[in-house]
């Protein structure tokens, strides 16, 4: 089910004064909320909340905007993207953070063209014939501009890793830093620091690998997220992000690196990466063979056009923050829900509880809260209280 897009609109003032009180006390009254936004100024601020977002995406954007944690990570990721040495790649990374608009969707401006693409993907075995077109082209992809800001998008599905406003930003920053460290370590151990592993490529790939979560994981009015479609037997966001890289003009080598995030292209899993390359090319409207992504093996099956570069393996290795963050998200939920009544959130109100969790974790992160929970419920409750005071 998609969030509603009422023709009557949902004004910012209405949002600020409405039922966000339980999940976001900062916005209990419009005047106070707007004053708070005005006080977050200068270099510490996030970009303005874009116009035209769905009501739920806008609500999430205000939660992220008010979070000191998200603001700090936003400036950190921009600094990391700005440190990319290659000017063209640096510009591409900063542009992606500023405007994650789904360029891949522009090739399919009409409902008929989108249905035809879904049908072609079904014939190729990437999706099922009865899969919803909205799984490939979620709400908002029919218009120009971002569906939601990069900096307020969740990092994954409900109760999974970084599932809070700003979670995608945090996830990709962590991955990019890990990729940088892996590149340095491989280069130092095996190549006498000659720069054999391209730092620019692994950082940019980490920033790109999940960017279409901005369209796949939109917020519902009840504080849950859109349901993700599987494409090529993996999360749809993965293939859509590969298609987005093609649509934005990145070459076959980079796309292969990006699409190795979910499986190292080795030990048989290179077939998975080849499948995702084929699906991404179809979505982007290019021939994967002419583009340099794929070839055919002796038996006629698709295969990667070249030996996967070192950066592909680094991208796979760097995308493992979920090992801790998924566990953390599940572990803290009962304790968060138990504390909710103390903050005037009714236990029986599922939507209020969901927005409460989104607000708290956006300010503190699931991993940091989990660390406090390992010390006991008292330490956990103190960390939650501290996150409330930061708003």
Q: Which H or E run contains 302?
A: strand 302-304
Q: Of 103, 90, 3, which is closest to residue 53 (Cα–Cα)?
A: 3
Q: How many Cα neighbours within 13 Å face the side chain of 239? A: 28
- Quote the DSSP letter at residue 230: E
pTM of the model: 0.88
CA atoms in the 13 A half-sphere facing the CB of 42: 2
Q: Decide if 322 contacts 178 (C-beta within 8 A).
A: no
The number of C-alpha atoms within 13 Å of 297 and in the hemisphere containing its C-beta is 9
Residue pLDDT tens, the chain, 391 long: 333 333 333 333 333 333 333 334 434 333 344 455 555 555 578 999 998 999 999 999 999 999 999 999 999 999 999 999 999 999 999 999 999 999 999 999 999 999 999 999 999 999 999 999 999 999 999 998 999 999 999 998 877 888 999 999 999 999 999 999 999 999 999 999 999 999 999 999 999 999 999 999 999 999 999 999 999 999 999 999 999 999 999 999 999 999 999 999 999 999 999 999 999 999 999 999 999 999 999 999 999 999 999 999 999 999 999 999 999 999 999 999 999 999 999 988 999 999 999 999 999 999 999 999 999 999 999 999 998 876 5
In the chain, the N- to C-terminal Cα span, in Å, equals 31
């Amino acid at each position: 089910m998609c969030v509603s897009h009422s023709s009557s609109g949902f004004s910012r003032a209405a949002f600020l004064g409405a039922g966000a009180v339980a999940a976001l006390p900062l916005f209990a009254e419009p005047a106070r909320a707007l004053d708070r936004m005005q006080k977050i100024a200068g270099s510490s601020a996030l970009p303005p909340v874009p116009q035209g977002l769905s009501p739920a995406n806008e609500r999430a954007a205000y939660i992220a905007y008010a979070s000191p944690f998200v603001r700090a990570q936003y400036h950190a990721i921009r600094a990391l993207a700005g440190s990319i040495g290659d000017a063209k790649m640096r510009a591409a990374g900063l542009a992606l953070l500023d405007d994650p608009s789904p360029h891949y969707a522009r090739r399919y401006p009409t409902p008929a063209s989108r249905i035809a693409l879904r049908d072609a993907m079904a014939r190729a075995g990437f999706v099922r014939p009865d899969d919803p077109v909205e799984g490939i082209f979620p709400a908002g992809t029919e218009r120009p501009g971002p569906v939601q800001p990069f900096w307020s998008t969740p990092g994954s599905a409900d109760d999974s890793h970084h599932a809070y406003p700003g979670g995608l930003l945090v996830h990709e920053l962590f991955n990019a830093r890990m990729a940088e460290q892996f590149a340095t370590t491989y280069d130092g151990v095996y190549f006498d620091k000659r720069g054999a592993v391209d730092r620019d490529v692994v950082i940019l790939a980490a920033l790109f690998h999940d960017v279409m979560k901005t369209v796949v994981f939109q917020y519902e009015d009840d504080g849950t997220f859109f349901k993700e479609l599987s494409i090529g037997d993996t999360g749809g966001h993965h293939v859509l992000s590969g298609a987005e890289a093609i649509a934005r003009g990145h070459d076959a080598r980079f796309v292969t690196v990006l699409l190795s995030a979910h499986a190292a292209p080795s030990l048989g899993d290179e077939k998975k990466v080849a499948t995702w390359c084929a699906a991404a090319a179809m979505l982007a409207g290019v021939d994967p063979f002419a583009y340099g992504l794929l070839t055919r093996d002796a038996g006629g099956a698709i295969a990667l056009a070249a030996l996967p570069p070192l950066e592909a393996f680094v991208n796979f290795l760097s995308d493992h923050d979920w090992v801790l963050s998924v566990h953390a998200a599940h572990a803290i939920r009962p304790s968060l829900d138990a504390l909710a009544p103390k903050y005037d959130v009714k236990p029986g109100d599922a939507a209020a509880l969901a927005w409460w969790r989104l607000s708290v974790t956006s300010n503190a992160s699931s991993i940091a809260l989990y660390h406090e929970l390992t010390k006991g419920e008292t330490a956990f409750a103190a960390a939650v209280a501290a996150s409330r005071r930061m708003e």
